[in-house]
Every structure is written in C-alpha cells, then in structure tokens.
Amino acid sequence: MKSAILIYYSRTGFTEQYARWLEEMTGCPAVAYKDARKMDLKPYDIVLFASRFRAGYIQKMKWLRKKDRSRKLKAVLATGAAPMGSPEAKREVSVSIRDERFGCPVFYLESGIRYEKMARTEKLMMRLFLRLMGEQDNRKYQHSYDNSRREYLQPVMRYLQELGAAEEEKNL
C-alpha cells in the first residue's frame, strides 16, 4: 500500500482499540486525533479516519474535512454501541453515514459502552433517550460492555486490499 496514515478519535477507548488492531494488521501507523491536529498530511497518499458515531454524527469529521484538502481520505470507520446487524445500526448507517456523504466507504464497527468513562451529560442523554424509547428501567444500561471484535475489521481489510490492487494496476 502507498504511504498511509490512520487518524483516530477515541473518547472511551473502543475506537483506539480498532485503530491499534488495524495498525497491527496493515502496518499503517495509527495516530491519535490530538497528535494529528498538528500534522501535515501532504506526505501521505492515503488517509483513513476512525471515530465514534454518536447522536447521528461521526465525531471530528468536520475537522478532517478541513484538514484533508487534497482528498486523500479513502475510508471512514465509525464505532458505535448498536449491534452490527441491528435495525438501528442499519438505519443510522443508511441515513447518517452514507458513503456518498463522505466520498469514500464508511464502515460501521460495533463496540460497546464504557459507562465509567462517559461524561455526566452523556449519561443523562442516554437516560433521556432510553425514556423516549419507552425503556422505563434503564439501570440495566448503566454498566460497561465490550462487543468490539477484531473480525469486524475484515470488510475494511478486503477494501484496503482492493484499493492496493487498484493502485498497483494504475501504476502498470
């Protein structure tokens, strides 16, 4: 693969875990958002971006759009607590994180909740959301769980292999 970088924003650690796994699998360096903010992306041919998907948005995407003026973004990885095959995840992906909106493929990766790392406002919003959804007893949601799996990255790996093959073909 050409010179690539994976920039990630992780609030509770799930996105960072996926970024580290992808770094191991590809050799592509994973750089935290706070460090990437100061970086020049010119030396890289390919930019990958991973962040959490929350409240209908991929966090820090607006920053990346400003930073990626040369249109090097080739894939977006969005982590979230909704199960991979759930109707909620499918609906959110189809409505909020469509590939066309970002100009590249978007991969949804199930993660989980780290309740102890959530800000008070996030906990409050989660309780309000659950009430709106008709969930009266939300105590069962006030615990952490981790559903992230390395195998969820397989579609990303296939895409990156196809991207690499297409680039090689172009250079022949």
The pLDDT value recorded for residue 156 is 95
The pLDDT value recorded for residue 172 is 56
The pLDDT value recorded for residue 49 is 95
The pLDDT value recorded for residue 137 is 67
Residue type, 69: R
CB-CB neighbours of 85 under 10 Å = 8
Specify the long-range contacts of residues 124-133, CB closer than 8 Å, at least 24 apart: 125/55
Residue type, 28: C
CB-CB neighbours of 88 under 10 Å = 12
The pLDDT value recorded for residue 96 is 65
Architecture of domain 4-111+147-164: 3-Layer(aba) Sandwich (3.40)
CA distance 8 to 86: 24
| Structural domain spans, the chain | 4-111+147-164
User: What is the chain's pLDDT, residue by residue, as a tens digit (172 residues)?
Assistant: 468 999 999 988 999 999 999 999 999 999 999 999 989 999 999 999 999 987 778 889 889 888 888 889 899 999 988 887 777 776 766 666 665 567 788 899 999 877 777 778 877 777 777 777 677 666 666 777 888 999 999 999 999 999 887 776 666 5
3-state secondary structure of 17: helix
